[in-house]
Amino acid sequence: MNPSAVVRRLTRRVTGLVATLVAASFVIFAAVYAAPGDPAVFLAGGRDKLTPERLAQVRAQYHLDEPLVEQYGRWLWDTVHLDLGRSFKYSDQVVDLLASRLPSTLQLVAYATLLYVVLGVGAGILASVKRSTWVDSAVVGGTTLFASVPSFVAAIALVSFFGVRLGWFPVTGSGEGLTGTLHHLTLPALSLALGALAIISRVTRQAMADAAASDHVEAARASGVPEREIVRRHVLRNALGPIVTMCGLVMAGMLAGTVVVETAFGISGIGSLLVNAINTHDFPVAQAVLLLMVTGYVVVTTLVDLLHPLLDPTVKEAHA
């Protein structure tokens, strides 16, 4: 690919990213107007304990007397400058709230990613090396089974057996220090990762099979390169493109999965913050968390999309 094509591709992707983010943030913002009743009352968290001063403050913060597009513009401007307003429930700045909750969530996602990459890719390699044997069927069947179990049921089952019955892991919380964090986050990360194993191992297995069918693998095998070397240096290396892409896409979606798992394990990250915000009618906080999660998801998927051709030079742009 020549440099100008790269620049054009980059520009198109970034434009698409910005357009998607603008549209999604507009949906998140304009949702206030879909709510039944006065948007100001809704934003302030309902009628109970509502003072006229508070109502006036909300009206000023959201500029509710201006046209919708102008309000949205102001909100977006404030958001980009990290002014997300105040939480009604915690009476903190929403940004501070997010900043204090985000590390736990990122640790959880990172740990879960590590688990599903190691286990999923490992299982996929195992299945492709032992193709059409009972190992292959066991991997496919087992991971499919895990994918059919909702993450909160997996969480409950893991807590019941490893937390309560065997007492190996703590039941709730996110722990202190590195070992404490790892100890506390193992079960949550595992329940988040289990559902991803099926898709990762299946992509790995298929990519390995495709790579193993190419001519240079035949040539290497014919010239007597040991099988272990062939798998490691020729098959796996050429299969990396689709594997890394799928791992990235799954990680992007995992940010939303933390909503369930953090609630199940009582971890105070942004996922449980979102659930609490909705249950306590704290809409500014819910809006901010949703925006953060959507932004993270869209940015990561775009990055994965941009990196894909670098990993796999044979991939040609579909619409050049």
Chain residues 298-317 in contact with another protein, contact rule CB under 8 A: 298
273 binds another protein (CB under 8 A): no
Contacts of 197 (CB under 8 A, 6+ apart): 116, 119, 120, 123, 143, 146, 147
129 binds another protein (CB under 8 A): no
Q: How far does Cα 255 stand from its chain's mean position? A: 3
Q: SS3 string of 170-191? A: CCCCCCCHHHHHHHHHHHHHHH
String marking each residue 154-173 x if it binds another protein according to CB under 8 A: --xx-xx--xxx-----x--
Cα–Cα separations (whole angstroms), residue 246 to 25, 50, 54, 121, 151: 26, 48, 47, 11, 19
Q: Look-up: residue for tokens 């809704």? A: 42
> For another protein, which is the closer residue by CB, 107 or 301?
301
Specify whether the CB–CB gap between 124 and 200 falls below 8 A: yes
CB of 109 to another protein, least distance (A): 12
Q: Which residues pair with 86 in a beta bridge?
A: 93
209 binds another protein (CB under 8 A): no
DSSP state of 122: H
Stretch that binds another protein, among 65-73, 95-103, 223-231, 246-254 (CB under 8 A): 246-254
280 binds another protein (CB under 8 A): no
Please count the residues of this chain forming the interface with another protein, following the rule CB under 8 A: 57
Contacts to another protein by CB under 8 A: 20-21, 23-24, 27-28, 31-32, 34-36, 42, 140, 144-145, 147-153, 156-157, 159-160, 163-165, 171, 195, 198-199, 202, 249-250, 252-253, 255-257, 259-260, 263-264, 274-275, 277-279, 283, 286, 290, 293-294, 297-298
